[in-house]
Amino acid sequence: DRERAIFEAGIKLGTIYHQYVGVPINLSNLESLAHAIKESVLVQPFVSGAEVRIDPEIVQKRQGVYKYITLAGEMLDVKVEITYKKEKVVARLNYVPDMAYPLMYIE
Tens digit of each residue's pLDDT (9 = 90 or more) over 72-94: 999 999 999 999 999 999 999 99
Q: How far apart are CA 30 and CA 23, in angstroms?
A: 11
Q: Is pLDDT above 90 for 44? A: yes
**Residue 104 main-chain phi, psi, to 5 deg:** -105, 130
Q: How far apart are CA 64 and CA 82, in angstroms?
A: 38
Question: Structural domains in the chain?
Answer: 2-106 (3.30.1300.20)
Q: What is the mean pLDDT of the chain?
A: 96
